[in-house]
Amino acid sequence: MRTRVTTSSAALIAALAGLSLLTLTYGQIALPLADTLGALTGTQSSDLARQIVLEIRLPRVVAAIIAGGALGMAGVLMQALFRNPVADAWSLGLLAGGQFGVALTVTAAAFAGPAAVSFLTVFEGPSITLAAAAGVAVAAVFMLALGRRVGAITLLVIGLMLGFTSQGLTSVLLHFAARAGGRVYGGWQDASFAAIAPASLPWLLAPIVIGAAAAVATAKPLSSLLLGETYARSLGVKVTSLRHAVLAATVLLVAPVVAFCGPVSFIGLIAPHFARALAGTARILPLLPLAALGGALLAVAGDAIVHAPWEQHFLHLNNILAILGAPVVILILIFSPAVRQWR
Amino acid sequence: MLDLKSLAVGYRSAGGPLLSDIEVSAVAGDFICILGRNGSGKSTLMRTIAGLQPSLDGVARLGGEDVASMRPATRARRIAVMLTERAFNPGLRVEDVVALARQPFTGWEGRLGDGDRAAIADAVAVMGIEPFRRRYFNSLSDGERQRVMVARALAQTPRLMILDEITAFLDLPSRVEIMALLRSQAKEKGQVILLSSHDLDLSLQLADSVWLLDGAGGFSVGAPDALSRSGAVGRAFDTDGIRFSPSQGRFEVSTSGPA
Secondary structure E strands in chain A: none
- What does the pLDDT read at residue A208? 97
Residue B125 has pLDDT above 80, yes or no: yes
* Residues facing B250 on adjacent strands: B245
- With CA atoms as reference, the chain A residue closest to B90 would be A338
Q: What is the pLDDT of residues B132-167, one digit of tens each?
A: 998 888 888 888 888 999 999 999 999 999 999 888
CA of B63: how far to CAs of B51, B159, B254, in Å?
Answer: 14, 9, 45
Percent of all residues in chain B with a pLDDT value above 90, rounded to a whole number: 46
- With CA atoms as reference, the chain B residue closest to A226 would be B89
Q: What is the pLDDT of residues A268-317, one digit of tens each?
A: 999 999 998 898 888 899 999 999 999 999 999 999 998 887 777 678 89
* DSSP symbols for B83-136: -SSPP--TT-BHHHHHHHTTGGGS-TT----HHHHHHHHHHHHHHT-GGGTTSB
Closest CB to A223 among B79, B83, B110:
B110
Taking residues A120-148, report their average pLDDT.
Answer: 86
Residues 6+ apart with CB under 8 A from B186: B29, B30, B31, B161, B192, B193
- What does the pLDDT read at residue A264? 93
SS3 for A312? coil
Query: Rounded CA gap, B257 and B259, in Å?
Result: 6
- What does the pLDDT read at residue A180? 53
- With CA atoms as reference, the chain A residue closest to B111 would be A220
Q: Give me the helix-helix angle, A201-224 and A124-147, nearest 10°.
A: 20
Contact call for residues A247 and A144 (beta carbons, < 8 A):
yes
Q: What is the pLDDT of residues A198-241, one digit of tens each?
A: 888 999 999 999 999 999 999 999 999 988 888 999 999 999 99
Residue B183 has pLDDT above 90, yes or no: yes
Nearest CA-CA partner of A127 in A68, A135, B80: A135
Query: Rounded CA gap, A79 and B133, in Å?
Result: 24
- What does the pLDDT read at residue B200? 83
Query: Rounded CA gap, A80 and A286, in Å?
Result: 13
**Contact assignment for B81 to A336 by CB distance below 8 Å:** no
Of A138 and A189, more confident: A138
**Contact assignment for A230 to B81 by CB distance below 8 Å:** yes
- What does the pLDDT read at residue A115? 73
Contact call for residues A238 and A94 (beta carbons, < 8 A):
no
Contact call for residues B139 and A337 (beta carbons, < 8 A):
yes
Show residues of chain A in contact with B91, CB under 8 Å. 276, 281-282, 338
SS3 for B60? strand
* Residues facing B31 on adjacent strands: B193
**Contact assignment for A237 to B83 by CB distance below 8 Å:** no
Q: What is the pLDDT of residues A75-114, one digit of tens each?
A: 999 999 988 888 999 999 999 999 999 888 888 887 777 7
Q: What is the pTM of this model?
A: 0.89
Contact call for residues B236 and B213 (beta carbons, < 8 A):
yes
Q: Return the H-helix or E-strand segment holding A120.
A: helix A114-122
Compute the nearest-CA separation of B71 from chain A (Å): 8
* Residues facing B164 on adjacent strands: B196
**Contact assignment for A337 to B139 by CB distance below 8 Å:** yes
Nearest CA-CA partner of A307 in A17, A18, A16, A26: A26
Q: For chain A, which residues lie within 8 Å of any Cβ of chain B, measuring from their own Cβ?
A: 83, 85, 217, 219-221, 223-224, 226-228, 230-231, 233-238, 276, 280-283, 285, 336-338, 341
Show residues of chain B in contact with A83, CB under 8 Å. 89
Mean pLDDT of chain B: 87
Closest CB to A83 among B80, B89, B96:
B89
In terms of residues, how long is chain B? 259
Cβ-based neighbour number of residue A116 at 10 Å: 16
Taking residues A232-256, report their average pLDDT.
Answer: 94
Show residues of chain B in contact with A220, CB under 8 Å. 103, 106, 108-110
Nearest CA-CA partner of A265 in A188, A197, A335, A320: A320
Out of A258-272, A288-302, A322-336, pick the least confident.
Answer: A322-336
B201-218 as b/e, with b when 16 or more CB fall inside 10 Å?
A: ebbbebbbbbbbbbeebe
Report residue B87's pLDDT band, with 50, 70 and 90 as the boundaries: low
Q: Quote the Cα angle for B22-B46-B5, to 5°.
A: 25
Report residue A31's pLDDT band, with 50, 70 and 90 as the boundaries: confident
- For B165, phi then psi, to 5°, come to 45, 55
Q: Give me the helix-helix angle, A58-81 and A2-25, nearest 10°.
A: 150
Query: Rounded CA gap, A115 and B83, in Å?
Result: 60
A316, with CB counted inside 10 A (0-12, 13-18, 19+), is: middle
Closest CB to A226 among B72, B89, B110:
B89
Residues 6+ apart with CB under 8 A from A14: none
